Amino acid sequence: MQSIFNILYLIAWTFIVPILYILANTLVPKWKPGLKMRLGELDPSVFPTESDNLERPVWFHAVSIGELNALIPIFNNFRGMRMVLSVTTHTAYELAKVKLQDDLENNRIRLFYMPWDHPVIVKKVISRIRPRAIILMESEIWPALINEAHNQKIKLIIINAKLSDSSFEMYRNFYFIFRPIFMKFDLLLVQSPGDSRKFLRLGVDKSKIFMMGNMKFSVLPTLKHNREEFREELGYSPDDFIWVCGSTHEEEEATLISIFQELRYEFPKLRLVLAPRHPERFSVVENFINSAARLIPVRLSMLTKTVTEKEGLQQNDILLVDTIGDLYDIFSISDIAFVGGTINEKIGGHNVLEPASCQVPVFIGPSYYKNTQIVDMLEEAEGLYVAETKEDIRLFLKSILTNPSKRILMGVNAKKLVDENRKIIFNVSEKLKEEIYA
């Protein structure tokens, strides 16, 4: 059965590759960057033909920005080892060029786009790189890559491994196809006991599974500003109550602004900050605030001029975070934080650890299937609240506004949980070294 699947997989990708190529050059231009690399054409100046005398590199793969940020601390624990890094999205590629600039310039790490999973393309890339191990993240299952690595006796590892309920059901329904694939992994470092049980039921040997926790606890940005000074710089007074809504999506801003409008008359010191997830929506949200909500949007990028002219942010002002890389500092000045992608059911949630690590109480909507483990842990620690409805959000926010001790305790609980789990990156690194050099 596995042989039949491999043949069908080859045939499918033989048809898919030309379609992807045409789309990248026409209707979906965002796929065009790195197109040659996706087809297996690596730059010979970056990836010269490997000498048998050189130490074989370790190949790390990160799909997007979230996975890349989790990997960067791992690289710091692998000094002296040759590494290559593949990414899937263009934003991750550009971020890697910035964050790993010194390593890339010194050829300590070599960067490329993940090739499409056509067996011929994958074989060509693996033969060129000759890795000693391939390290994937979370739930990345690429049959052609896995089969070729196994055939060439290259170690296969998944770190921060997890399986959603829907993915697990899909793999279990096609157990006869995916069991042989999962059995080829040499090591799985999983996020939770629940993930361990799922991988066991899919045929992974118990001796290959280790419960390490979620690496995102150890991957947090560095604050660029002092909290009190930054609040003042942004035009807030010491007694303002700042409600930050980060990584929001379409339809969510309207709900959050509506709740703000209901509460601001009862609580005149309540201030709202909106940070849309995608830059292309900044203007859309700004126009909504200005026209539909009849409030005044103040862009963070224009804040210094605006605050000087108005002598501070006023009650009708909504701060719109239209810059990249500032959300962590914005979370740090908040009194309460809402993390978006949790009202819009299509998204499944975003990282709640950033505000939690700033000792800020967190609340979210009911859709968080992409971050179930972390949300459950924070909720159990009483550092996070899950609001099921719009009315739930309003009532919870009102309870925080009228009960300062509850707000402070939730923030302390949230930060305590984050601090207790910060050693995960080190433990993962040590386990990887042990397996790679075994």
Tens-digit pLDDT string for the chain (438 aa): 678 888 899 999 999 999 999 999 998 888 888 999 999 999 888 888 765 557 899 999 999 888 888 898 899 888 888 999 999 988 889 989 988 999 999 889 999 999 999 999 999 999 999 999 999 998 889 999 999 999 999 999 999 999 988 899 999 999 889 999 999 999 999 998 999 999 999 999 999 999 998 888 887 878 888 999 888 888 898 999 999 999 999 889 999 999 999 999 999 999 999 999 988 899 999 999 988 778 888 888 887 555 555 555 676 789 999 988 889 999 999 999 999 999 988 899 998 999 999 999 999 999 998 888 899 999 999 999 999 999 999 999 999 999 999 999 999 999 999 998 888 988 999 999 999 987
Q: What is the largest CA-CA distance in the chain?
A: 73
Q: Are the CB atoms for 149 and 126 separated by under 8 Å?
A: yes
Pairing of strands 296-299, 187-190: unpaired
Structure tokens belonging to residue 22: 């045409």
Distance CA 204, CA 197 (A): 10
Q: Are 68 and 74 in contact (CB under 8 A)?
A: no
| 309 class by beta-carbon count within 10 Å (0-12 exposed, 13-18 middle, 19+ buried) | exposed
Contacts of 91 (CB under 8 A, 6+ apart): 64, 65
The whole-angstrom separation of Cα 236 and Cα 355 is 19
**Sign of the CA dihedral running 110, 186, 197, 114:** positive
Contacts of 94 (CB under 8 A, 6+ apart): none
Per DSSP, the three-state class of 189 is strand
- The pLDDT of residue 234: 87
Q: What is the pLDDT of residue 305?
A: 56
* CATH 3.40.50.2000 matches 227-420: yes
Residue of 46, 32, 134, 42 lying closest to 90 (CA atoms): 32
Q: How far apart are CA 135 and CA 157, in angstroms?
A: 5
Q: Determine the topology of domain 21-214+423-436 in CATH.
A: Rossmann fold (3.40.50)
Do the beta carbons of residue 160 and residue 189 sit within 8 Å?
Answer: yes
CA distances from 425 to 23, 63, 373 (A): 38, 18, 17
State both tokens at 341.
């992608």
In the prediction, which pLDDT does 147 show?
95
Contacts of 356 (CB under 8 A, 6+ apart): 362, 378, 383, 384, 414, 415, 417, 418
Domain ranges of the chain: 21-214+423-436, 227-420
pLDDT at 209: 96
Q: Does 227-420 match 21-214+423-436 at the fold level?
A: yes
Q: Side by side, which strands form the sheet with 58-62?
A: 109-113, 83-87, 58-62, 133-137, 155-161, 187-190, 209-211
pTM: 0.77
Element (H, E) at 363: strand 362-364
Closest to 98 measured CA to CA, from 77, 72, 73, 78? 72
270-276 and 83-87 beta bridge pairing: unpaired
- Residue 230's alpha-carbon distances to 109, 226, 321, in angstroms, are 36, 6, 14
